[in-house]
Amino acid sequence: MKRIQRMKDVHVLKTRKHLPSFYVEEIENQFLMWYEAENEGESLKEFSLLNHSCIYHFDKEEDMQMLVDYIGDVEYVEVENVAGKKYFRIGLMQDHHISIIYFLEGTLPRKTERWLTNKIL
C-alpha cells in the first residue's frame, strides 16, 4: 500500500512502469483538486494531505485488511473502465474527513472485487 500525501508521492507512482498512465493521472488529478481546495498558500511541493484524510494506492492483496478494518466507514464505491482496464475508487469517511482508496482490478481477491462492484449496482 502506498499512502499519498504529497506531490512527491504521486511522482513515485509515476516511476512504477506497470501502472497505466490514466490511472496515475486520476490519482494526480484527485491530489491536485484537494490541493486547490485546501492549500493555505503553500506551494504544491510543500503541500501535504493530513494523515487521516489522504489517498491510498493498494498494490497487494494484503492491503485489503485496511478495507476490512474500515468497512463501516465506506462512503462510496466507484468502478471506472478505461481502455479495457478497470480501477476502483473507494471513499472512506472518518470523523468528517474523507480518504480515497484506489486500486486496479486484479489487486484484491476476485470475490472481494465482485462484491465491491455489486455494491454500486
What are the residue boundaries of the structural domains of the chain, listed by start? 2-120
User: Distance (Å, rounded) from C-alpha 25 to C-alpha 94?
Assistant: 25
Per-residue pLDDT of the chain (121 residues; tens, 9 = 90+): 999 999 999 999 999 888 999 999 999 999 999 999 999 999 999 999 998 899 999 999 999 999 999 989 999 999 999 989 999 999 999 988 999 999 999 999 999 999 898 877 5
pTM: 0.92
